[in-house]
Structures are given as C-alpha cells and as structure tokens.
Amino acid sequence: METAKKLNVWSLKNSKFSLILNRKLAILFFLAFLCLGSLLFSISKGALDITVGEVYRAIFIERNTVNHQIIWNVRLPRTLVAGLVGICLSLSGAILQGVMRNPLAAPNIIGVSSGAGLMAYIIMILFPSYYYLVPIGAFVGALLATLLIYLLAWKDGIQPTRMILAGVAVSSFLSAWINSLMIFFPDRVVGVIGFMVGGLSTRTWPHFNVLWPYASLGIAITFLFSKKLNILTLGDEAANNLGIHVERTRLILIALASLLAGSAVSVVGLLGFVGLIVPHTARLLIGSDYRYLFPATAILGATTVIFCDTIARVILSPIEIPVGIIMSLLGAPFFLYLLRERRRGIL
C-alpha cells in the first residue's frame, strides 16, 4: 500500500513536470513560428511588395529575375543581420540581468554598448582603412567598459545596485567622448552618423559575414552556461556551496555579454532597449530557467528587431526611419514602467 502511494506521488510529480516541459516547448515552437513569420514579412515588404509565393520562386527557382536580385542582394542579408543583432543584444541583456540580479540591467543602460560604440567610432573615424577591425574593437571597448564598471562597483564583493549606478555613470562618460569625436571630426562623421541611433540601412552580405562568426561563438558559449547562471541566481553563498566559482563565472558571463553586445554594435550602432525589453518578455512567457529562457530570448530578440526594422522601413516609405528610433520609442516607456514597478517592490 505504501509503495503504491509512493508510486502515485511520483507519477503525479512526473506528469506535472512533463506538462510544464511540454508547455515550455510549445511556447518555443510558437516563438519560432512568429520568427519565421517576421522573416517572411521582412523579405516580402518594401518599395516593391512581393508575395510569399513569389519569394519562394525568386529564391529557389527563378534566379534571373528582378525579385531575386531584390531579395537576395538587399532584403535577405538585411533581415539576417537584423535577426543576429536581435539575438546578440537580447542574450546580452538576459546575461547582465542574471549576473547583476537586477531587471534594469541592459547593454545600453549600463555602458556596455557605449564602450563598444566608442571603440568602433574611433576606428571608423580615425582609422577608416582598418574597418575590418571594428568588431574586435567594439568587443574590446565593451569588455573594458564592463571591467571598469566592475571595478567601480567592487567593495567587499559586487552589489547589483552599485553596478547599475556605476554603469549609468560610465555610459554617460563614454557617450560624452562619442559626441566629442563628432565635434572634433565633423568632416568624417557623415558616413557614420546613423551609428548613433542604430540603423540597418545598406546592411548587406559583407556585414553579415563580419557579424556571424562572433555572434555564433557568443551564442554557443552562452547556451553552455545556462545551468551555471541558474545556480548563480540563487545567490553567491548558495552557488559556492554548489561548487560554482562565483567571481570567475560572473567574469566569464560578463565577457560573453560584452562579446555579444560588441559584435552587434559594431554592425548596426547604438541600438538601445532590445536587451531590456526582450528578456523581460521572454521571462514572462517561459519563466526564469535559463535553459529555456536563453532560447526564448534569442528567438524573440530576432523576431523583435526584424519586425521593428520592417516597420521602420515601410511605415513612411520612401523615407526610412532608423530602427533604433522605433526601439527607443518602445523601450523608454518600458524602462519607466520597470522603474516604477521596482520602486513598488514588485520586481
């Protein structure tokens, strides 16, 4: 009788676990479907609308048509760059929020994006012939900015609130240097002015080829660290007791966030609020387990940037709005909402 009761309890727990797992997988499949839909929407919409059937024929069958040239040389690379940038920035935000245990952490808010942007700006303005070094420079800038924030916030360990405040200060300082470069070199800034607001205009296959190696490396390693970040969110003492070297793991995760943010910034510029909005939305949908949160964040990040870029491209056609403006219009109220909820003690 006792054995039967234990088996029933085990069966009930197992069925609950299976139900939760199936729900999470269903959400991931739904998000993947949305991402595919946003990709098709992006490829088909523009100055010349192309139906889904025509998209299929232009890519796989009729390769000598105008539609093929438009899709293959203009829309597809831009859409893929948008997707990768969305993945990188959203994962970077998810990592920073987990490491700092603060829902307000995001690459553009705590200075990571500004560090990447400053180094990218320096290379583009002062050393334009070394443009191929922009992704590496952006990563180095993001990493140095993050380490500076880390050092400023250190006092008998890292406190998330101190780190956020240090990040805001560093972000303002680095942004001042970016603006100074624009003033000191006005003759060279015309070609990179769109960098300040974040835009995907003119992004083609060379930009995708620059981005994908760094992005793929960062994404792969991030997924490998999902279990460790789960443990890290339990608190430093609990993580130490479970065999995690807290500071080393935190530094690796911060370096990953810097790599992801730096690679994205190097291609599209200072695109804000993706790393703030997307991880929160994914967490509401799928929970805080990073084994599922990372994939959901990546898919939702790609969907968000692709969709917003398409809207920015067609809403006032033939005038194109930088996607960074759309994201700021969405992100600023969202940030104020989070700040309000945090003050009320809900977050």
The full set of domains in the chain, from first to last, is 84-343 (1.10.3470.10)
Residues 6+ apart with CB under 8 A from 156: none
Residues 103, 280 contacting (CB under 8 angstroms): yes
Give the separation between CA 101 and CA 159, rounded to whole angstroms: 9
Q: Which residue has the higher pLDDT, 82 or 237?
A: 82
pLDDT of residue 77: 93
Kindly tell me if the per-residue pLDDT of 17 is higher than 70: no
Give the separation between CA 244 and CA 107, rounded to whole angstroms: 25
Give the separation between CA 90 and CA 257, rounded to whole angstroms: 10
Residues 197, 270 contacting (CB under 8 angstroms): yes
**What is the crossing angle of helices 134-153 and 246-268, to 10°?**
140
Percent of the chain with pLDDT over 70: 88
pLDDT of residue 160: 64
Q: Against a cut of 0.85, is the pTM above it?
A: yes
Q: How confident is the model at residue 112 (pLDDT cuts 50, 70, 90)?
A: confident
Q: Which residues pair with 154 in a beta bridge?
A: 158
Helix or strand holding residue 332 (H, E): helix 323-343
CB neighbourhood size of 225 (10 A): 18
Q: How confident is the model at residue 83 (pLDDT cuts 50, 70, 90)?
A: very high
Q: Please tell me whether the peptide bond between 318 and the residue prior to it is cis, using omega within 30 degrees of 0.
A: yes
Residues 143, 252 contacting (CB under 8 angstroms): no
Residues 81, 268 contacting (CB under 8 angstroms): yes
Kindly tell me if the per-residue pLDDT of 6 is higher than 60: no
pLDDT of residue 347: 55
Kindly tell me if the per-residue pLDDT of 346 is higher than 70: no
Q: How confident is the model at residue 126 (pLDDT cuts 50, 70, 90)?
A: confident
Kindly tell me if the per-residue pLDDT of 97 is higher than 70: yes
Give the separation between CA 312 and CA 326, rounded to whole angstroms: 7
Mean pLDDT of 261-278: 87
pLDDT of residue 7: 45
Give the separation between CA 336 and CA 332, rounded to whole angstroms: 6
pLDDT tens digit sequence for 141-179: 888 888 888 788 777 666 667 777 888 888 888 888 888
Mean pLDDT of 194-198: 72
pLDDT tens digit sequence for 209-257: 989 998 999 999 999 999 999 998 888 788 888 888 888 888 889 889 9
- Most confident range (mean pLDDT) of 2-16, 84-98, 231-245 is 84-98
pLDDT of residue 5: 52
pLDDT tens digit sequence for 278-292: 998 999 889 889 999
Q: Which residue has the higher pLDDT, 129 or 209?
A: 209
Taking CA atoms, 115 is separated from 50, 147, 227, in Å, by: 40, 11, 28
Mean pLDDT of 315-339: 82
Q: What is the mean pLDDT of the chain?
A: 84
The torsion angles phi and psi of 302, rounded to 5 degrees, stand at: -60, -45
Query: Which pair of structure tokens corresponds to residue 111?
Result: 């200075």
pLDDT of residue 200: 86
Kindly tell me if the per-residue pLDDT of 258 is higher than 90: no
Residue 154, classed as helix, strand or coil, is strand
